[in-house]
Structure 1
Amino acid sequence: MNWSRRSVICAATASAALPRTAFAANPREITWDDLIPSGVPYSQIIGEGVVDEANDTWRPQFDEHATKMNEALNGAYIKMPGYIIPWDVTSAGVTSFILVPYVGACIHVPPPPPNQLVFVTTENPWPNDMLWEPVWVIGHMKSEFQTTEIAEIGYSLTADKMEVFEWEENG
């Protein structure tokens, strides 16, 4: 077979892209319960913590279970549902946010414990007109404790993809 230089370059380029697309890992679908290590109960509020009446926020004091992370998820490629609390918002959309397990968490109500919050960053902004939609977030998870003005957060996730969460009806 007689290969031209152009054919060799095209074949090399195509084969270099093949492993990323043909062998891409399927994300592990997880729930909020998976963020808590096995055998650890859901954390309870044990003290008032910090109340900021001017900004209408409350960071309660949680028991020792709040900061216990599921280290098996560190580095895992996951897919999980949740709701968006916007952090970095531009006209193109939201590029970082806190993923929370229920609508309104961290806003006018006490935040969930740190092991029930995920700080998400994405290069593909989520549309501003879809902030109240439940979402699936797909990406790489890390247990990474951080403190913000509104909550202490136990995990971070770099999102590769996001999509609207569709409720399935049983029945």
Structure 2
Amino acid sequence: MRSLSALLLICFALLAQAATPELDWLELMPASDRKALEEMPEITHDSPENTGFSDKGGLRQGSGLPDVMYSTRTVPELNGKRIRLAGYPVPLENDAKGRSTAFFLVPYPGACIHVPPPPPNQIVLVRYPKGFALEDIYAPLQVEGRLAIEKTSNELADAAYVINAASLRLITEDNP
């Protein structure tokens, strides 16, 4: 009987995960921004001393990059929607045990730290009060929770969305 209960719990967990849609990063951008991004000339990802960076972190508006690189335009239909989103963490806050409780989730590794940050509508602030041990910022995570349109700004970057995470997990070869 105990194994049947465990099997049912696993089935319910898988069904709940399947019921939460996985969002693609480009779905966070309005169609006009996706089009502008596709038509944008290639930018180089030089060091933070590049003239495109502000001395306070992030990109400086007016540095010659197209406006889409600073876009905070969002997709209103996503506000309040429960989603799953995979990306890379940029740590912001830790608890007393050193576990990460707030971080930016970004679509590619090293964003906001070693290369120009993505547009604000491609950065999601994740709040996870339970905290988790962040051992590698180059290891992808999948976050699940309710997405909210909320603009946030700090010295690293600006974000146009927030997720109060219900759960998160490390993506590995064994656990894609």
RMSD value, Cα:
2.8
Displacement after TM superposition at 1:60 (Å) = 3.0
1:32 matches 2:35: no
Greater fraction strand:
1
Q: How does 1:11-26 map to 2 (within 5 A)?
A: 26=19
AA aligned opposite 1:75: G
Q: Which runs of no fewer than 5 residues in structure 1 stay unpaired?
A: 1-20
Q: Does 1:89 align with 2:84?
A: no
Structure 2 length-normalised TM: 0.70
Q: CA offsets, 1:46-97, max 9 Å, x none?
A: xx66521xx7x34232515712101111000000100000011232410000
Greater CA drift, 123-132 or 77-86: 123-132
Q: Tell me which of 121, 124, 129 is aligned to 1:115.
A: 121
Select the structure of larger CA radius of gyration: 1
Q: Secondary structure at the match of 1:29?
A: coil
SS in 2 for 1:158: strand
SS in 2 for 1:59: coil
The size of the alignment, in residue pairs, is: 143
Equivalent in the alignment of 2:139 = 133
Percent sequence identity is 32
Whether 2:35 is the aligned partner of 1:63: answer no
Relative distance call for 1:68 and 1:76 in structure 2 (3 A) is: same
TM-score (norm 1): 0.72
* 5+ residue gaps, structure 2: 1-12, 42-50
